[in-house]
Chains A and B, each alone.
Chain A
Amino acid sequence: MEEEKQQQLEEKLALAEKERDEYLNGWKRAKADLINSKREFGDQLKNINDFAKTEFIKQFLPVLDALAAAGEIAGWQAIRKLAADVLVKNGVEEIAALGQTFDPVCHEAVGEAEGEDGRVVAVLQTGYKVNGQVIRAAKVKVGKNNFNK
């Protein structure tokens, strides 16, 4: 009789301990989730300025493309320079591409052409970085020896 009772109690204890661990774990997890999301939210808040800027620049890119396309036509060059100055002041930089070794981190290959193997031989669309982060990769043609063969 005594033994049976003790066994029952032990079982109950084991169950309670198991449940306790489960609940404690769940509690820890919930608390960790909260702390993590708070931290992440804080980070996001810090980045929100950058984010807003990046979104704006992204929408502005077609204008820059148009200015680039205007090329050497008189008058447009000056406007392009004006725009470029504003961008530089805001942490936006053009991605160097022409003549560089092709790097998929900031270049996107859209074709190949005769030229030194693995080097960017033509830029079809300028790429941009904001504070070092690529917001649009430069669209480039990559050189290939004996491409025409």
Chain B
Amino acid sequence: MAKIIGIDLGTTNSAVAAVEGGEPRIIENKEGNRTTPSVVATQKGGERVVGLLAKRQAVTNSQNTLFSVKRLMGRRFDDAEVQRDKKLLPYEIRAGDDGGVEIKMNDRWHKPPEISAMILQKLKHDAEDKLGEKITEAVITVPAYFNDAQRKATKEAGEIAGLTVKRILNEPTAAALAYGFGKSSTGAQTLREEKIVVYDFGGGTFDVSVLEVSESTVEVKAVGGDTHLGGDDFDQKIIHHLIDEFKKDQGIDLAKDALALQRLKEAAEKAKHELSSTLETEINIPFITTDVNGPKHFLMRFNRSKLEDLVRGEIDRSVEITRHTVAEAGFKLADIHEIILVGGQTRMPAMQEAVKKLFGKEPHKNINPDEVVALGAAVQGGIMQGDVKDVLLLDVTPLSLGLETLGGVMTTLINKNTTIPTAKSQVFSTAADNQPQVEIHILQGERPMAADNKTLGRFILDGLPPSPRGVPQVEVTFDIDANGILSVSAKDKATGKTQSIRIEGSSGLSKEEIEKMKKEAEVHAREDAQKKESSEAKITAEALIYTTEKTLRDLGEKVPADAKKEIEEKLEDLKKAKAEADVSALKSKTDGLSQAIQKIGADLYKQAQADQPADSAPDKKSDDGEKPQEGEFKDKDL
């Protein structure tokens, strides 16, 4: 079964997305870009080019380069909009037999859907290359204000391109779907009725829509906008400003210098983008032009507030249109639950601020505003792909899962937000010599100390053969199935002995409980870190005490008396410190003892080398220089 792709067939740019692994993803075109200019051209040799290449040759072939065809889709030639656009378009259009629009390209007359089909064909073709499978079905988006004829024309375009159009979807609805609103049509739990405003400020057009999303429907309550207001106007304003400033400063008009204008254009666009994240930027274009006095350089600081001054009028206008549209839908501004930002220009902080101020709440903006419509169309395609997708809707574990290890510390095996089903194993060991059993204490939560997390269950694996601490290998496996049921098993690798437990309610926490646990983890982060530090310091101290005693015992007489005395004193000190609460004292005493014990190790090696006669007998180099065993273990102690 081939994928149903989602296509945002835009006025200036188009994008394609498909659902992969349950998530929508933008598919890059052949040129490696995530959006494709909606431009078609026939070159002099009769060769057809689409997208970026068509755009690049537009100037030299303006009569045969078609753009903004979306403005003509499904319209009648005598529509007021068509008559207005006719004056702006460099290519020729005329009335067809049916009263519709026909467009001339390379001496042939085409209907708008045929041209749109050429764009769709490229998108389809590039997507096939990228996905490695044949594409036959698509969801295509249209503006909410498109009438029946315009929708039909769009569908026709899809069919000419060899696509079965599974649905014509409203652009604002697609955006809402991408954000997960109104997904209830999947049959998942129903949402409350929500009123959503989609504010779409693109490169060339501004659209605002008011949606009402209920159990199974998305209803468009009102639409508004301006088909000739967009981010491109902003670029123009910046360039004019820069030209004016330079003229004031140097008396030279850069507008007449094609070379300079080119560099200025690029710098203006760069400055606009930079000012979305910084407050000030520098426009630096050395050698921008020359006059009789020699080369001239363009150097100017440009800040965010200046930019905002330049485009304040446009932003205010869009806000006014939005206010008006909400009223038209019969709602108050306070009725609106969610606001979604679409279109590249909405990255501008001043615009986000203006929208936020209007509604008194934060708009949604974390999905790339250039891609959100195509992504939503892909989500729709995914939903239509069939019931299969419902079954495959995968959940995540809301909280981390792990077990208690030495010192009351929680060791996490499965991190929160891991997609399930999943399994994870880790090998642990014992904390004491001849420890006959280990207790597996299963925990859920984000706090570092076991006691602060929720206990899901515990069990004991016994019958471990007597052995020194750190030697036994107990493999613990956590396995969560698709229903969130957790199975934990522990296996002693030496004997093969296994114990396990099944915990049904591992995600049985309510949403509130989960949020509470996550919050608590944040609130207590500092003190938790201290507790953990103190616990770890104690574990290190204990391990060192153990190693020291063992070393002294093993080496016996080999340790010089004075060194032995020093070590024993430090050992006693450390034991005392361990009983007290002062972590830094404990750490420094641990360091002290550690150094002392290392010294005797080093001394013994030296001694062993000195003792060795020049013609050392090979049979006599056995256990003399045995190194004291390190107090660390490869795996965590249970």
Partners in one complex: yes
A contacts, CB < 8 Å to B? 22-23, 25-26, 29-30, 33-34, 36-37, 62, 65-66, 69-71, 73, 102, 104-105, 107-112, 118, 124-125, 133, 137, 139, 141-142, 144
Residues of A within 8 A of B259 (CB): 69, 124-125
Given A25-B388, A26-B392, A109-B60, answer yes or no on A124-B295 (Cβ-Cβ < 8 Å).
Answer: no
Inter-subunit contact B59/A110 (CB<8 Å): yes
Residues of B within 8 A of A36 (CB): 20, 132
Residues of B within 8 A of A25 (CB): 1, 388
Residues of B within 8 A of A62 (CB): 263, 266-267, 284-285
- B566 CB–A CB distance under 8 Å: no
Partner among B32, B44, B258 whose Cβ is within 8 Å of the Cβ of A110: B258
- B286 CB–A CB distance under 8 Å: yes
Q: Closest CB of chain A to B267's CB: distance in Å?
A: 7
B38-66 vs A: 1/0 string, CB under 8 Å?
A: 00000110000100111011111100000
Residue on A nearest B58 in the bound complex, by CB: A109
Inter-subunit contact B262/A125 (CB<8 Å): yes
Residues of B within 8 A of A142 (CB): 59-60
Inter-subunit contact B392/A30 (CB<8 Å): yes
B contacts, CB < 8 Å to A? 1, 20-21, 32, 43-44, 49, 52-54, 56-61, 132, 258-259, 262-263, 266-267, 284-288, 295, 386-389, 391-392
Inter-subunit contact A133/B32 (CB<8 Å): yes
In this complex, the member of A33, A66, A69, A73 whose beta carbon has the largest number of chain B beta carbons within 10 angstroms is A69
Residue on A nearest B3 in the bound complex, by CB: A29
Inter-subunit contact A26/B388 (CB<8 Å): yes
Inter-subunit contact A33/B20 (CB<8 Å): yes
Q: How far is the CA of A70 from the CA of B295 in the complex (A)?
A: 8
Q: Closest CB of chain B to A5's CB: distance in Å?
A: 28
Partner among B20, B56, B263, B389 whose Cβ is within 8 Å of the Cβ of A65: B263
Inter-subunit contact A69/B287 (CB<8 Å): yes
Inter-subunit contact A112/B262 (CB<8 Å): no
Q: Closest CB of chain B to A60's CB: distance in Å?
A: 13
Q: How far is the CA of A40 from the CA of B598 in the complex (A)?
A: 51
Interchain residue pairs with CB less than 8 A apart (24): A22-B391, A23-B388, A34-B21, A62-B263, A62-B267, A65-B263, A66-B286, A69-B287, A69-B288, A71-B287, A73-B287, A102-B57, A102-B60, A104-B56, A107-B56, A108-B56, A109-B56, A109-B60, A110-B258, A111-B59, A111-B258, A133-B32, A137-B56, A144-B60
Inter-subunit contact B286/A22 (CB<8 Å): no
Inter-subunit contact B54/A69 (CB<8 Å): no
Inter-subunit contact B286/A112 (CB<8 Å): no
Inter-subunit contact A124/B258 (CB<8 Å): yes
Q: Closest CB of chain A to B549's CB: distance in Å?
A: 50
Residues of A within 8 A of B43 (CB): 104
Partner among B52, B285, B389 whose Cβ is within 8 Å of the Cβ of A66: B285
Inter-subunit contact A125/B49 (CB<8 Å): no
Partner among B32, B57, B262, B267 whose Cβ is within 8 Å of the Cβ of A104: B57
Inter-subunit contact A73/B57 (CB<8 Å): no
Inter-subunit contact A112/B60 (CB<8 Å): yes
Residue on B nearest A54 in the bound complex, by CB: B32
Inter-subunit contact B388/A29 (CB<8 Å): yes
Residues of A within 8 A of B391 (CB): 22-23, 26
Residues of B within 8 A of A124 (CB): 258-259, 262
Q: How far is the CA of A87 from the CA of B57 in the complex (A)?
A: 28
| Secondary structure type dominating chain A contacts | mixed
Residues of A within 8 A of B57 (CB): 102, 104, 109
Q: Closest CB of chain A to B337's CB: distance in Å?
A: 33
Residues of B within 8 A of A133 (CB): 32
Residues of A within 8 A of B287 (CB): 66, 69-71, 73
Q: How far is the CA of A33 from the CA of B382 in the complex (A)?
A: 14
Inter-subunit contact A73/B295 (CB<8 Å): yes
Inter-subunit contact A22/B59 (CB<8 Å): no
Residue on A nearest B392 in the bound complex, by CB: A26
Q: How far is the CA of A44 from the CA of B3 in the complex (A)?
A: 23
Inter-subunit contact B20/A37 (CB<8 Å): yes
Q: Closest CB of chain B to A146's CB: distance in Å?
A: 15
Given A33-B20, A69-B286, A110-B59, answer yes or no on A104-B53 (Cβ-Cβ < 8 Å).
Answer: yes
Residues of A within 8 A of B60 (CB): 102, 109, 112, 118, 142, 144
Residues of A within 8 A of B266 (CB): 62
Residue on A nearest B32 in the bound complex, by CB: A133
Q: Closest CB of chain A to B140's CB: distance in Å?
A: 23
Q: How far is the CA of A100 from the CA of B57 in the complex (A)?
A: 14
Q: How far is the CA of A62 from the CA of B154 in the complex (A)?
A: 41
Residue on B nearest A118 in the bound complex, by CB: B44
Partner among B1, B44, B59 whose Cβ is within 8 Å of the Cβ of A109: B59
Residues of A within 8 A of B58 (CB): 109
Partner among B21, B132, B386 whose Cβ is within 8 Å of the Cβ of A37: B21
Residue on A nearest B385 in the bound complex, by CB: A29
Q: How far is the CA of A126 from the CA of B82 in the complex (A)?
A: 39
In this complex, the member of A66, A70, A73, A107 whose beta carbon has the largest number of chain B beta carbons within 10 angstroms is A66
Residues of B within 8 A of A118 (CB): 44, 60
Residue on A nearest B267 in the bound complex, by CB: A62
Residues of B within 8 A of A22 (CB): 386-388, 391
Q: How far is the CA of A65 from the CA of B287 in the complex (A)?
A: 9
Inter-subunit contact B54/A110 (CB<8 Å): no
Inter-subunit contact B388/A104 (CB<8 Å): no
Residues of B within 8 A of A23 (CB): 388, 391
Residue on B nearest A120 in the bound complex, by CB: B60
Q: How far is the CA of A62 from the CA of B271 in the complex (A)?
A: 13
**Given A62-B267, A109-B60, A110-B262: 15 more A-B contacts, CB < 8 Å:** A22-B387, A23-B391, A25-B388, A36-B132, A37-B20, A62-B284, A65-B263, A69-B259, A69-B286, A69-B295, A104-B49, A108-B56, A109-B57, A125-B263, A144-B60
Inter-subunit contact B59/A112 (CB<8 Å): yes
Residue on B nearest A63 in the bound complex, by CB: B286
Residue on A nearest B59 in the bound complex, by CB: A109
Residue on A nearest B54 in the bound complex, by CB: A104
Q: Closest CB of chain B to A97's CB: distance in Å?
A: 12
Inter-subunit contact A70/B286 (CB<8 Å): yes
Q: Closest CB of chain A to B40's CB: distance in Å?
A: 13
Q: How far is the CA of A33 from the CA of B56 in the complex (A)?
A: 35
Residues of B within 8 A of A109 (CB): 56-61
Q: Closest CB of chain B to A73's CB: distance in Å?
A: 7
Residue on B nearest A39 in the bound complex, by CB: B132
Residue on B nearest A66 in the bound complex, by CB: B286
Q: Closest CB of chain A to B252's CB: distance in Å?
A: 14
Residue on B nearest A23 in the bound complex, by CB: B391
Residues of A within 8 A of B387 (CB): 22
Residue on B nearest A73 in the bound complex, by CB: B295
Q: How far is the CA of A26 from the CA of B300 in the complex (A)?
A: 58
